Structure 1
């Protein structure tokens, strides 16, 4: 309980002795005679505020609620004001600018702002303000006509916080030692390091992404994926990017560039007016290494257990472009599959415009910047009658492209978009100009009655002479392989089906491609079924892949692969479900199969230590297989380790990841950071946990980082009161932040550090200090004070072991005194003592 809450509780306990009820009216009043009996000569203590069941004037930390919508938590100064009927009421001092931030149309009322800086709410008819002491809320009520029209979840841009200046570093280091158990195979050691340093300065965010990799078969290699500066342009609801980045994918495929880009940022819109990275699903036959490539770069690496897996935390280097996945088994064999990268639907709300302008030097698939310049522009506009028009162009020295399309929401039929792209190209190794065009049709429908969500996309390349911008510009680069096959058509399917009650759900994704001048077809499909019953979950997956390839290398895989996987998971503990038992079965079309049983769970109070053990058997060459893994997420970072074995090899893998942020108050370590983060500042309060954040606790100085915060949205961060030290009392346990994209925003928690005591104050004449007197420590420069109860008791926190209290119940010298105190060295959480006020 906060200090303010304890003082209110103390007053409520003492009030009955001081209250008398008048049968002729409902008004409650304090009897001054009670004070006269206790403290002769002190009946003139002003208790009118208590007679009206109000707090005393002053500054209070309250949650502001406007028309039943929470706005923010802040310090508000309250003053007494005549309500016109002879009653004194407690009114807040809110500026007109603050009311405007809450959505009040203050422009209609030029006399609203007073000279003292407070808005005169009486200027607005039926506007009301009330302090609810019990809930610590300021309740504001305004007629709806006096509020600016906005989406129900909109946050005014004036409240967005660009954050503090800071230096950032995200890091991840992983490695593995593999020991071959067969004479013809070699042992191997591999390491992978990713670094994401950054600088925040005002609204600007400077970011870099670099990786280092090494194994026994190849030399160490550094790759710089990008370096860029970015900032939000709030009036345009857009992001300005300078440096190396990728173009948007609403109309064209993503293009890497070094230059400048201005593009709409839909996250600046409220959720009700408007996002996505793909989930990679597959099936591993053994304890496999999974590598994910995009545009020829490895962007993700992890290790998975046998069976179906789903990777949902990929950080793509661009917002589209197929992901090529390699599943490397322990016996050295590989699976390769293609994951289509779905884009944000092209349809826009009526009146909304989405745009992008990009220009600069083209960067090829090896992240090398070329001397080829290009420009790209796209625009999407929402029209009446549920129509959307969109268009775009790409222009370079040897490439010219134009696209135009239309989309419409047909209601029960679904949503449809159709566009055509024409291109004129001149390749480096071919004579003349190639002309081609491609049609694209996209369809989406959510069948509410059947619980079906369907998305289809079809591409028809009318001629084989259609080339994309990157294909043409790559042809001019030394070392680039010739363009040896042309896509003829491509079809994509994504389906999610919720079955009847208790029957689970079904997901299907598929890709089919054909090419000009050859009969090669690429087919990739994944079917999954999921259900749960009394805590037991079942997952059944089927994967089919034929002729899939890593598109940047031209490497073919003509064989057909089919894998079936079954997974069962059952909780073994009732409370908290900290331990699970699981069973997995994998079977391939060629007859090889494996099965395993395992245990996994979480440990520690915050469940931030996870573990798993597994033992199984495979009929492929015979033999057992198994693994043990552990992962710890702490306040200073994350660490993981695993050991796996089978007939062919043994492997030990390990990894550490985390982040550090250097700011005005020092350096703070944390778990890996997302794009937008919050710095919790609670000086001197170490070991406090942030609620709903696994392993996020304040360091010895009282600082920590919340690694993921949504930009342009209200996020409320709360310190768990149960983890606070006994010597700490917070003014509030929650803090609201509204960061912009990429910001490091600060969430301040102020508290009182020190001992707590209930002190009975008496004056030199033996009488208790009058009820309602205020008390504060002499060496405390804050606004902190406590109120004396009926028998001279006062609750105080944040005390030193000894000191002096300043007591006041009026402005005259005879209504003030000082009391010295010394707390006993008893080791108790709270002290009871007496002191004389002179």
Structure 2
């Protein structure tokens, strides 16, 4: 037999561990680096003459030959990875593998099938009858068996010009029918020094159902304290993609996008461009809330009068990035309530970014609805219509404008955006409005708005948003114009319409130090009263230690200003305890109270799903000292947190929180961590305990189901299995699941896993004969197969305590045998891998087995 130097894996699917190679890998190498051929007898592989006729290895006498079959393959088009799929491969007379590609697959990968007549004539779902280069000149494919990668070289003219990361809408998945409730529950019980107790609870509930491409959602909150009990249904709506328009249709209670006009809440219908449907390369915001807590504090965030977020945090600096806002603009009112009952407030400005579009692209929105008043206000709710358009004129400029109309209000907007190159972009617009107010007065005015976003490369300064608005005396926004007038002298926001507003959100890196500044100021006509809010700080990491300095200031209406400055340092203790830190924090508020905190915090468990914090603090106010403990845990069923605070004046506080979801889907009902907007339902065919990379605490439950939260809509999402932590009784060849969900979809993915024992089976036949190398073994368990290696050893996963094997190396009765495998579950394992070692006799088959 003639062999060339080559690597000969005898497997059908990508292995999940090196153990699979025991049954499938043979390395044959020449002793010379030249291309000369060498011959030796196949009996050398078996060691006895009887076996020479049993196995045919002639295929592997050819260079680059491999067995045909279905292989899990990474698709790479012009050096860009697209996805991982299972492809069927055939081999030619030389044994070289060729992928069976269909026109549908090529179209899915962004190749312009319709531009090649011969290719159009091929059956769309059948493999091509000729090599790809026959249909598309200069196109070629190359399959790298060692890395399981199919590299496709394609002329640029044959690739869709939609964008280098374009994904055809036909690949978007609407998901499976589901109903769910995504919840966040928090509460606290505070007992003061006089032993008086007050409690409060908060529930944030996002419930919904998916059917086909339709999304039904309700966003509600519930809050309870000793003297109040409030349930608010903030929004209820249905939505559906309009793929051809790259837009979303929404009906019900929602809010406008707030690009051209201020975002307003409505009850009606809306069609608006969804830029997430475009590739990243063709796209033109909830803000991050930063602050400092001096104890186990309760963070409350309100927008448009609605309480949209409430949670407990441990002492120290905090960042909140998971907001579900009620509108796309509208300032966020943040309250930090400490364990001793003191409160600090500040306002986070939240508004549209500078308006720019790529040349020839258009973004639009149209709404016909009834206006919905902000929570806690008293306003008229008229019918209205609003429309806006943003169009990219060329590489440097964008034009936009819009109209708003109701029975008592009319407004028109026109503006332009200018690209400033490396300095970012700026937009300038003017709004003309006429309003008949609630007191029957008619007012006409204009509002000029300037927005800037970008980065100044020379100074490494990032402007998330810088904005200025000037309004004439007679200008009212639509929301302000619908405010009801009750002749209350304290109703100064109605009596004095807005004049100037300046807002800024900027970050700067200076010599390794990150600085940030966020704030706004609003003043009004005919009064010296102003609203002001400012949040500023810096962060620095030096020799593994991190430092932060923060300042907050807030003043609204006639309330006294609230100010606080804090400094903190965190020192890693990883040399003594992995993933742990010691921290010190010093804070001072406007009242002159200074508090010092010394603490210890960290994370535990292999995927850091358990976190903890221990704090000791002291205040100069009456020499008060306090102690606190706080912990959080991410489980596969929900996220949990709790904290306890005790002060030297005998006051104490207990806080707790649970966030997660209940999802009903075709495979059952699953408890999970918070879902986010778009999520995946994984079914592992009954295999429990399978975990996933970069998903702390997520694992398949006792029914083999798991929820992967927070997927990115309209983009490729790769869900990777953590094969290093598979349970002892579970095995899988799958390493990655790929999905492309549409917005708010609940997509389903099946993970092929085998549940049962893993075993290395040493086979033998009568008269001390071995089972031939390359023999195929199949079990009486669906999906369990294996290949015998050159030592007559077989590796199998997913077998039961009693399993019957049929082993074939040919079609004749003398080329197959059967073995009965019995595993004693009470027998302790002798190795840490969870793999059992078994000897089995393979007996001659006397009749053909089905």
Fold shared per TM-score above 0.5: yes
Query: CA-to-partner distance for each residue in 1:464-491, whole Å, 9 max, x for gaps?
Result: 2211212233438999968222111111
Q: Which residue of the other structure, out of 773, 776, 782, is the alignment partner of 1:774?
A: 776
* Residue number in structure 2 paired with 1:195: 205
Give deviations 1:99-151, integer Å, cap 9, x for gaps.
11112222233434756910232423343334333222333333333322343
| Match for residue 519 of structure 2 among 497, 510, 514 | 510
Relative distance call for 1:249 and 1:763 in structure 2 (3 A) is: same
Change (3 A) 1:604 1:100: same
Relative to structure 1, is the Cα distance of residues 803 and 524 closer, same or farther in structure 2, using a 3 angstrom cutoff? closer
TM-aligned CA deviation for residue 227 of structure 1: 1.0
Match of 2:696 in 1: 694
1:834 maps to 2:840: yes
Q: Does structure 1 conserve the Cα–Cα contact (< 8 Å) formed by 2:611 and 2:633?
A: yes
Larger CA deviation: 391-400 vs 42-51: 42-51
- Worse-matched range after superposition: 596-605 or 805-814: 805-814
Residue 552 (structure 1) aligns with? none
Look up the SS of the partner of 2:207 in the other structure.
strand
Deviation at 1:648, TM superposition (A): 8.1
Once the two structures are superposed, the pairs formed by residues 321-340 of structure 1 within 5 Å of their partners are 321-329=330-338, 332-340=341-349
Name which of 327, 330, 338 aligns with 1:318.
327
Q: Kindly indicate whether the alpha-carbon contact (under 8 Å) linking 1:240 and 1:261 is maintained by their aligned counterparts in 2.
A: yes
Q: Matched residues in 1 for 2:250 and 2:161: separation? A: 32
1:771-810 → structure 2 map (5 Å cutoff):
771-777=773-779, 779-782=780-783, 785-810=785-810
Alignment correspondent of 1:169: 181
In structure 2, distance between residues paired with 1:766 and 1:332: 83
- Of the structure 1 ranges 510-519 and 759-768, higher mean CA displacement relative to structure 2 is found in 759-768
1:599 equivalenced with 2:600 (yes/no): yes
- Where do 5+ consecutive residues of structure 1 fail to align? 550-555
- SS in structure 2 at match of 1:742: strand
Q: Which residue of the partner structure matches residue 713 of structure 2?
A: 711
Match of 1:740 among 742, 747, 754: 742
- CA RMSD, Structure 1 to Structure 2 (Å): 2.9
Q: Deviations over 1:660-714 (max 9, x none)?
A: 1111111111111111111222123222221111111221222211222111222
Q: Deviations over 1:480-533 (max 9, x none)?
A: 968222111111122211102x3x121122312221111112222222111011
**Which residue, 109, 115, 129 being the options, matches 1:108?**
115
Residue among 356, 363, 370 paired with 2:372: 363
Q: Deviations over 1:301-328 (max 9, x none)?
A: 2334566543322221111111122334
Correspondence for 1:489 among 484, 497, 500: 500
By how many angstroms is 1:206 displaced?
0.8
Residues 139, 684 of structure 1: CA spacing in aligned structure 2 closer, same or farther, 3 A cutoff?
A: same
The CA distance in 2 between the partners of 1:644 and 1:95, in whole Å, is 64
1:809–1:477: structure 2 CA closer, same or farther, 3 Å change rule?
farther
Instruction: Say whether the 8 Å CA contact 1:801–1:822 is kept in structure 2.
Output: yes
Which residue pairs with 2:564 in the alignment? 563
1:246 matches 2:252 = no
Q: State the 1:643 CA deviation.
A: 1.8
Displacement after TM superposition at 1:216 (Å): 1.1
Out of 308-317 and 235-244, give the one that drifted further: 308-317
How many Å separate the matches in 1 of 2:98 and 2:218?
51
Does the C-alpha gap of structure 1 residues 4 and 609 become closer, same or farther in structure 2, counting only changes over 3 Å?
closer
Report the CA distance between 1:833 and its aligned residue: 1.4
Q: Give how far 1:41 is off.
A: 7.9
| Residue 483 (structure 2) pairs with residue 470 (structure 1) | no
SS at match of 1:49: helix
For residues 63-74 of structure 1, the aligned pairs below 5 Å read 63-74=74-85
Indicate the residue corresponding to 1:127 in structure 2: 139
Compare 295-304 and 321-330 and name the one that shifted more: 321-330
Of 73-82 and 279-288, deviating more is 279-288
Is residue 818–residue 843 contact of structure 2 (8 Å, CA) maintained in 1?
Answer: yes
1:583 equivalent in structure 2? 584
**One of 246, 266, 284 as aligned partner of 1:257:** 266
Per the alignment, do residues 477 and 231 of structure 1 end up closer, same or farther by CA in structure 2, a change over 3 Å counting?
A: farther
Q: Say which SS state the counterpart of residue 191 (structure 1) adopts.
A: strand
Query: Which whole-Å deviations, capped at 9, do the CAs of 1:192-249 have from their partners, x for residues lacking one?
Result: 122221101111111111112111122x221111111112222211111111100001
Q: TM-score, normalised by structure 1?
A: 0.91
Q: What is the aligned partner in structure 2 of residue 418 from structure 1?
A: 428
Residues of 1 paired with 2:42 and 2:360: CA distance?
Answer: 66
Partner of 1:76: 87
Q: How many residues align?
A: 814
CA–CA separation in structure 2 for the residues paired with 1:388 and 1:73: 39
Does residue 531 (structure 1) correspond to residue 540 (structure 2)? The answer is yes
2:193 is aligned, of 168, 177, 181, to 181
Report if aligned partners of 1:173, 1:193 keep a CA contact under 8 Å in 2: yes
Are residues 1:289 and 2:289 paired?
Answer: no
Q: State whether residues 579 and 603 of structure 2, in contact with CA within 8 Å, keep that contact through their aligned partners in structure 1.
A: yes
TM-score by length of 2: 0.89
Q: Say whether 1:49 aligns with 2:59.
A: yes
> Could you say what secondary structure the match of 2:325 adopts?
coil
Structure 2 residue matching 1:615: 3-state secondary structure? strand
> What is the match of residue 457 of structure 2?
448
Aligned pair partner of 2:683 in 681, 685, 697: 681
CA spacing shift, 1:193–1:204, aligned 2, 3 Å? same
CA contact (8 A) 1:278 1:342 kept: no
